[in-house]
Amino acid sequence: MWDQIQTGFGYWDVYAWIAFFLIAGGMVYLIRSFGRKDYKRDTEQDEIFFGSNPVPDDGEELKVPASSAYWGYTQALKPFYDVLVGFHTGLATDYAGWYILVTALVALLILL
């Protein structure tokens, strides 16, 4: 139950990892304890730095929407994504068509 898992190429020991996380957690806690002691909750020390501008009341004006996530990644791979999204037409006939095409292709590979 407590053994390592042998993969045939190496091994996996979950308890070594847990020990690592506990040690790392302890070190983080130790470093944190060296921090300033004069911090006070719910004072100006808690305020968000918003480019020296007043912080809007509604988080809606602050948040980064999901559509902006990985913008650079999707822009860099735009040609790939154009093809990929175009391939997902949403048409039921295409759904059936792809299935038939794959069946025909595998049949050709196996039967010929």
Partner 1 sequence: MSWQVHLPALLIAVPLLGAFLAPLTALGGKGLRNTWFVLVSLAFTLIAFLLWARVGAFGTAVYVMGGQSWNLALPSGMEVPVRILMEVDAFSAFMVLLSAVAALAGAIFSVTYMDRFSGLEKFVALYFLMVAGMFGMEITGDFFNFFVFLEISSVASFGLVAFWRDRGEALEAAFKYMLVSTLGALMVLVAVAFLYSKYNVVNMAALGKVIEWGMVEKTSLVLFLTALAMKCGAVPMHMWMPDAYAEAPAGVTCALIAVSQASLYGLFRVTYTIFGAFMGSPIIPWVIIVLGVLSMFIGVSMAVIQKEVGRLIAYHSVSQVGYMLLGFGVGLLALSDARAMADYGFTALKGGVYHIVNYTMYKGLLFLSAGALFYATGCRNLNDMGGLGRKMPKTMGLFMIAAAAIAGLPPFNGFVSKLFLYESSFAVHPVLAVFAMVTSVLTLASFVKIFQTAFLGPALKKFDNVREVPGAMLLGMSVLGVAILLLSLFPTWSVNHLVEPAAKALVDQASYIGAVFAATVPGGGL
Binding site for partner 1 (CB under 8 A): 1-5, 7-10, 12, 14, 17-18, 21, 48, 57-60, 62-67, 69-70, 73-74, 80-81, 84-85, 87-88, 90, 92, 94-96, 98-103, 106-107, 109-111
Instruction: Kindly state the smallest distance separating residue 53's Cβ from partner 1, in Å.
Output: 14
Q: Provide the b/e sequence for 66-104 (b: ≥16 CB within 10 Å).
A: eeeeeeeeeeeeeeeeeeeeeeeeeeeeeeeeeeeeeee
Instruction: Kindly state the smallest distance separating residue 63's Cβ from partner 1, in Å.
Output: 4
